[in-house]
Structure 1
Amino acid sequence: MIFVTGATGALNGATVDHLLQHLPASDLVVVARDVAKADRFARLGVEVRRGDYADPASLPAAYDGADQLLLVSSNDRTADTVELHRSAIDAAVAAGVGRVLYTSHQAAAPDNPFHPGEVHFATEQLLAGSGVPWTSLRYGFYAHSLQWLAGPWRETGVIAVPGDGPVSWTAREDAAEAAAAVLLSDGAHDGPVTLTAPAAPTFAEIADTASELVGRTITSRVLTEAEWLAAQAAAGVPEQMSGFLLGFYRAAQAGFFAGTDPLLGELLGREPRSATEALAAP
């Protein structure tokens, strides 16, 4: 039995959709904080159970009977996400889960300036110490984020960022499909596995791509952090959010998102979607 958390979200919801193309609904269980939001899976015959990382007592029963359990990483920036993940992993151990899979990131590292990278690293350490077989899906940075991390370049003609570096922009749709393939491989991938697009363009290179897309020159400019933060404040972006995003640009400039790996394409059986496709999306 394959259990999937976070299926009411875009990533793991798409993973369940892909699994349903290969398995009967009776082989799957969806675990959700709000079971009503998972109704579309229930209507397909998938069992839906309530489980909430913030309510540890709800988790052992929710995970009971899982041969494989896909844990989605928490994106709650108001909570101690590592502790939330600890609760989920402890419950998986208590429930006797056969293998735990976790949606991580290629830049999982204790010194990553982008805070989620620290969280992913700490969670992987918890998995490694759990005694349960585990797989960490280290996805490349989601390509749809380009729509806002590159800024309003269509209007301004400039991609203005506070730091530039290579990023292996990876389509969330491809990441979801690959997760399903890893789950269906039944343990063929152990420990950290890197799932990225085959290229890692810089924002300067993205500007060249943008120019080709719109048929006019789009330039790139690296601002000082102070200039960029001032522009964010003028645009009404909350200080906490701009500070969070600044960590991404620092990490990109330091090369944390530069790595690429052919495994994603191998799992998909085709070329992964490109940053160009993400940039062109309406």
Structure 2
Amino acid sequence: MIVITGASGSLGNLVVEALSNKQSQTSIKLTSRTPEKLSSWNSKGYSVAHFDFDDPASMEDALIGCSTLLLISGDAPVEKRIKQHGFAIDAAKKMGVSHIVYTSFVNPVEESLFPFAKIHQQTERSLIESEISYSILRNPSYIENLAGALTHARQTGVLALPGAKGKSTYLAKQDIAKIIVELLTSNNESSSIYELSGPEAIDLFEIATLASDIWETKVEAQVLPEENFKQMLSQVGLPEFMVTAISGLQQATAAGEYDLVSNTATQILGNKMLTIRDYLKTFA
């Protein structure tokens, strides 16, 4: 039995869609803190369960009969999320789970300017110490994280974010989901860390040049002041810890933390990944 956490989220839903093409419904259990959000999958015959990171008993119940667990990292303040992930790993060990696939992030080190790096560093450590075999996916930034800035650029001709001169190797959620499914269904009993990246490292100025070409209109990249960015994030209702995290992600990008290209995703998916050029065409 494969158990998916966070199945009601955007990445989780994409994983379920991709997994449904390779596994029978009876071999998959979908979980969420709010399982009512999974009603559409439940109506299609999928087993649905309550999985609350703050409630170990709910996790243990959800993991009954589970052989492989997909642990999708969520959003919570750093110290709280570290504890939640620890509870989930403890529950998995208690219930006899044999393999965990975890969605980590590139450069999960103490020195990172991205506050959530500490979550991933500590969770990876907990996984290693658990003695459960694991597949750790160190994902880069989602290409979809650029959606707001690109929508604004399409309307105004200005593409602006903090850290605009820093390169990142964006990967689409749909491609990460496909990689996850490959690992969930590989019957892999060994432990591995997968350094993932998109096909290229690119900065906002290079993206603006591509956008100008594809959209056939001038797009100018600018470095958005950090305080302006934080204010924008706060105005759309994000909690303070998320404002700090997203701002830190841009600082880490500017510092060159995410500019290394690996061929791991290409080896798993082939040359079928969504590129920045492909993504820009969806705004044309």
Cα distance in 2 for partners of 1:276, 1:230 equals 28
What aligned pairs does 1:60-75 form with structure 2 within 5 A after superposition? 60-75=60-75
* Residue identity opposite 1:48 in structure 2: V
Deviation per CA, 1:60-99, whole angstroms, max 9, x where unpaired? 1211221110011121348711111111011001111001
1:215 shift after superposition:
1.3
Query: Cα distance 1:46–1:101, how it changes in 2: closer, same or farther (>3 A)?
Result: same
Do the aligned partners of 1:147 and 1:278 also contact (CA within 8 Å) in 2?
Answer: no
* Residue identity opposite 1:17 in structure 2: E
In the TM superposition, structure 1's runs of 4+ consecutive aligned residues that sit over 4 Å from their partners are: none
* Residue identity opposite 1:233 in structure 2: Q
Q: Does 1:176 align with 2:181?
A: no
Cα distance in 2 for partners of 1:79, 1:119 equals 7
What aligned pairs does 1:238-249 form with structure 2 within 5 A after superposition? 240=240, 242-249=243-250
Deviation per CA, 1:169-197, whole angstroms, max 9, x where unpaired? 11001111110011111117733212221
Do the aligned partners of 2:97 and 2:132 also contact (CA within 8 Å) in 1?
Answer: yes
**Paired residue secondary structure (1:90):** helix
Aligned equivalent of 1:202 = 203
**Paired residue secondary structure (1:115):** coil
1:151 shift after superposition:
7.5
**Paired residue secondary structure (2:245):** helix
Do the aligned partners of 1:73 and 1:102 also contact (CA within 8 Å) in 2?
Answer: yes
Q: Does 1:6 align with 2:6?
A: yes
* Residue identity opposite 2:27 in structure 1: D
Aligned equivalent of 1:26 = 26
Aligned equivalent of 1:106 = 106
**Paired residue secondary structure (2:267):** helix
Do the aligned partners of 1:182 and 1:188 also contact (CA within 8 Å) in 2?
Answer: no
Aligned equivalent of 2:126 = 126
Aligned equivalent of 2:278 = 277
Cα distance in 2 for partners of 1:147, 1:30 equals 28
**Paired residue secondary structure (1:187):** coil
Query: Cα distance 1:229–1:242, how it changes in 2: closer, same or farther (>3 A)?
Result: farther
What aligned pairs does 1:38-49 form with structure 2 within 5 A after superposition? 38-49=38-49
**Paired residue secondary structure (2:130):** coil
Bigger drift between 156-165 and 115-124 goes to 156-165
Query: Cα distance 1:67–1:231, how it changes in 2: closer, same or farther (>3 A)?
Result: closer
**Paired residue secondary structure (1:80):** helix
Runs of 5+ unmatched residues, structure 1: none
Query: Cα distance 1:29–1:242, how it changes in 2: closer, same or farther (>3 A)?
Result: closer
Do the aligned partners of 1:146 and 1:278 also contact (CA within 8 Å) in 2?
Answer: no
Aligned equivalent of 2:51 = 51
Do the aligned partners of 1:147 and 1:279 also contact (CA within 8 Å) in 2?
Answer: no
Aligned equivalent of 1:116 = 116
Query: Cα distance 1:50–1:245, how it changes in 2: closer, same or farther (>3 A)?
Result: closer
1:157 shift after superposition:
2.2
Query: Cα distance 1:281–1:108, how it changes in 2: closer, same or farther (>3 A)?
Result: farther
Query: Cα distance 1:93–1:234, how it changes in 2: closer, same or farther (>3 A)?
Result: closer
Cα distance in 2 for partners of 1:63, 1:5 equals 10
1:263 shift after superposition:
2.1
* Equivalent residues, number: 279
1:233 shift after superposition:
3.1
**Paired residue secondary structure (1:207):** helix
Runs of 5+ unmatched residues, structure 2: none
Cα distance in 1 for partners of 2:151, 2:77 equals 22
Deviation per CA, 1:193-245, whole angstroms, max 9, x where unpaired? 1222111101111111111122122222235xxx4414653794669355433
Cα distance in 2 for partners of 1:184, 1:97 equals 15
Aligned equivalent of 1:215 = 216
Cα distance in 1 for partners of 2:75, 2:280 equals 24
Cα distance in 1 for partners of 2:116, 2:68 equals 24
Aligned equivalent of 1:158 = 158
**Paired residue secondary structure (1:152):** helix
* Residue identity opposite 2:213 in structure 1: E
Aligned equivalent of 2:231 = 233
* Residue identity opposite 2:227 in structure 1: L
1:6 shift after superposition:
0.9
Query: Cα distance 1:211–1:189, how it changes in 2: closer, same or farther (>3 A)?
Result: farther
